[in-house]
Amino acid sequence: MDGPSAKEPGTQPAQDGSAKGEPAQPSAIPSVDDVPQQHGITDELARLFLKNFLPADSQAVLKSYRYRPIASLGEGYTTVRKVLEVTYRDESSGKEDVLVMVVKVPSGNFVGVVREMGLYEREVIMYCQVIEHFRHILSQRGKQALLPFPRYVYGRMTVAGEVRDGRDQPLEDQTQTEMLVIELLQDFQVIDKKVGMGLEHLKLLMPALARFHSVGLVLRQRHSERADRLRQYETDADGTTHPVEVRFVDLQMCQFGDLAYDLVYCLISSSRRETRRDHLRQMLTWYEEAFRSQLLELGEDPEQVAPWLSVDWLIARYSNGLAQYISFALNVVQLLFSSDEDRNDLLGGTNMGDFVKAMQRLRERWQEGKCAPALQERLLGIVEDMKEFGHM
């Protein structure tokens, strides 16, 4: 696969002499925000990306790297997301290839709040330490680690004012900011929450969520020292598309806690009211079966590790979760489904107090019938959920 030349917009030629390229012409470089160096990506770091992602015996020589335009990576309220192409030559075969990754760096008015809450740090730890330990647990059992996450490439975080790598080691250059680099999922599409997931998608989402939860449970019990989803499509001969895999990408909010929190969040934000009304038991059955199956793959007895696990118990937890986490669910739904004007108001502040006030203004607009139709529909669906389970 031919890599981009050094003259292409935003391409940074390697400087080690092994694969020299002409410096990019000034007129070929767009805004500084489209240049990897703007975010602290250097030749040395690009080589580290290759080393971390490619097999250990790979003989890759860096050629060039650049940001590449892409239609959509989802809405990043607290990060800028860029697609980075790193072109390299395989010395063993003499062929060139391209590694494509997603780079996430802090952005927006809420950076200070998100940093204070430790969310950038949490996401790096999830990808670099927790998920990699998930893979290790499965590989020890001789199982292929088919976890619903993209592969981790690189991360750095700020902990107590100190910049560290994903393994908690201090970086020599303390001027850098947080960064997460993961693989770009090929042939996946960002889920459009405004459309909502149908049963085909939910049949993938619920088992994937269950596997995540079950491995997390085992991690917590047996390995305490470690303690916008995308979808891929398969196309029929007539052009009909069907989802075949799902991946979780944004992990800033991960924590050990009540699984009902995720169930409420996923179903309220990703499915329509009629789907939840007609198929909740079926969806939770998919979840329960996958949870139990994953425990068995990990060599655990479900009756010992999760004796409480049943569809009826999950329905009860979902009902309790609706009452307990409804404020959070409402905030998420209002952020996702509000108009551009209302969303700009929500994200226009610089601290959590501004956000709370903007959320109150939005709720007043909803009560007056002035919100976007999509938001009205979703909020009314939540009201119906609350009524169904006797919370209103």
pTM > 0.85: yes or no: no
Residue 109 CB partners (closer than 8 Å, separation 6+): 347, 348, 349, 350
Packing angle, helices 273-297 and 199-222, rounded to 10:
40
Residues with pLDDT less than 50, the chain: 1-32, 226-237, 244-247, 253
pLDDT digits (tens, 9 = 90+) for 88-98: 999 888 899 99
Question: What's the confidence (pLDDT) of residue 198?
Answer: 83
Question: What's the confidence (pLDDT) of residue 129?
Answer: 81
Question: What's the confidence (pLDDT) of residue 60?
Answer: 92
Question: What's the confidence (pLDDT) of residue 77?
Answer: 64
Burial of 58-96, coded b for 16+ CB within 10 Å and e otherwise, reads: eebebbbbbbbeeeebbeebbbebbebbbbbbeeeeeeb
Question: What's the confidence (pLDDT) of residue 138?
Answer: 73
